[in-house]
């Protein structure tokens, strides 16, 4: 099933339950959230879209391996239910050898990723080192099934006339071992390279950072090339982060992530998509 919803002049929201495994990025094999389409062009690149859930069990992260969709319409309002089955973990794959299955390698990888996000002065150096290692050893990122499975149901109420989306996240079926839930809302980094928030902060390109907390009440990313903006706000009980990474043909995402504990059984937020004047 593929769902395409008009929300502004020549701008659509699109979601599908089939995978595009022929894409250039590792995330092409994942079932993505809502993608922005402007003038017939998908704007996601490596990004996982709007309303994309991941869960953590300590340092390990579980990604969706499947999605089931259902849609109904009431006038100009669309209700889209997306049920994500999270059962994949990120793996390092080496051509001719297969997946690397050494626990220490993944512990180091996850620790480096945490440092990149938490310590800004180290980001440039660690990103260069990480990219260098992948190129030297011929490593590529893949996703493989694991023994644990989590299910998250998301209901999107989409107002076609205003471009506003209400997202309800149902966490009642999460396993007890889950320690953190993150809901991503992102699109492609080459298209969305400017961040603005209600506190007056305006950042361009690399100055946006790759995982910094948003303290303003409302924040947005904008695309000058397609004249479109997506924005959302902070929600009580969750931390809101912004980020943008553009590294060759490996990373190309820009957007936000809500982080909250699994004890939050029902999480609700609102997303707005607008055309620039």
The pLDDT tens digits for 190-239 are 999 999 999 999 999 999 998 999 999 999 999 999 999 999 999 999 99
The pLDDT tens digits for 147-195 are 889 999 999 999 999 999 999 999 999 999 999 999 999 999 999 999 9
What pLDDT does 248 receive?
79
Band the pLDDT of 105: cuts 50, 70, 90: low
Q: Domain map of the chain by residue range?
A: 2-275
What pLDDT does 243 receive?
95
Q: Quick check: 128 and 46 in contact, CB under 8 A?
A: no
- Which is more confidently placed, 209 or 97? 209
Residue 21 has pLDDT above 50, yes or no: yes
* Separation of alpha carbons 146 and 222, rounded Å: 37
Residue 267 has pLDDT above 90, yes or no: yes
Query: pTM surpassing 0.75?
Result: yes
- End-to-end, the C-alpha distance of the chain in Å comes to 33
- Which is more confidently placed, 265 or 198? 198
Q: Mean pLDDT throughout 248-270?
A: 93
Band the pLDDT of 19: cuts 50, 70, 90: confident
Q: Which CATH number fits domain 2-275: 1.10.3470, 2.60.200, 2.70.98, 3.30.1370?
A: 2.70.98
What pLDDT does 94 receive?
55
Band the pLDDT of 8: cuts 50, 70, 90: confident
Residue 109 has pLDDT above 70, yes or no: no
Q: Rounded to 5 degrees, what are φ and ψ at 117?
A: -80, -30
The pLDDT tens digits for 112-154 are 566 556 665 544 544 554 555 555 555 577 888 988 899 999 9
Beta strands 194-197; 202-204: pairing state: antiparallel
Residue 77 has pLDDT above 60, yes or no: yes
Band the pLDDT of 255: cuts 50, 70, 90: very high
Pick from 128, 254, 140: which is nearest to 189 by CA? 254
Q: Quick check: 171 and 181 in contact, CB under 8 A?
A: yes
85's tokens: 């089955």
What pLDDT does 60 receive?
85
What pLDDT does 18 receive?
79
Q: Rounded to 5 degrees, what are φ and ψ at 26?
A: -60, -35
């Amino acid at each position: 099933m593929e769902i395409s919803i008009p929300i502004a002049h020549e701008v659509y929201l699109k979601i599908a339950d089939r995978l595009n495994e022929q894409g250039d990025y590792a995330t092409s094999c994942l079932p993505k959230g809502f993608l922005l389409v402007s003038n017939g062009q998908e704007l996601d690149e490596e990004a996982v879209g709007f309303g994309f859930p991941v869960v953590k069990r300590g340092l390990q992260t579980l990604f969706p391996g499947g999605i089931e969709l259902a849609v109904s319409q009431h006038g100009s309002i669309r209700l889209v239910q997306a049920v994500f089955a999270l059962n994949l973990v990120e793996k390092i794959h080496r051509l001719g050898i297969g997946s690397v299955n050494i626990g220490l390698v993944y512990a180091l990888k996850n620790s480096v990723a945490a440092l990149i996000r938490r310590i800004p002065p180290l980001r440039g150096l660690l990103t260069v080192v990480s990219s260098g290692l992948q190129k030297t050893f011929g490593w590529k990122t893949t996703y493989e099934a694991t023994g644990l499975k989590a299910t998250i149901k998301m209901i999107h109420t989409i107002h076609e006339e205003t471009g506003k989306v209400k997202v309800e996240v149902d966490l009642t079926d999460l396993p007890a071992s889950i320690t953190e839930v993150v809901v991503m809302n992102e699109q492609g980094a080459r298209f969305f390279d400017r961040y603005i928030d209600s506190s007056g902060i305006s950042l361009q390109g690399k100055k946006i950072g790759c995982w910094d907390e948003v303290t303003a009440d409302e924040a947005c990313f904008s695309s000058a090339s397609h004249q479109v903006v997506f924005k959302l706000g902070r929600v009580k009980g969750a931390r809101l982060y912004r980020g943008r990474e553009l590294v060759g043909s490996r990373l190309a995402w820009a957007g936000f992530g809500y982080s909250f504990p699994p004890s939050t059984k029902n999480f609700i937020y609102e997303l707005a998509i607008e055309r620039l004047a």
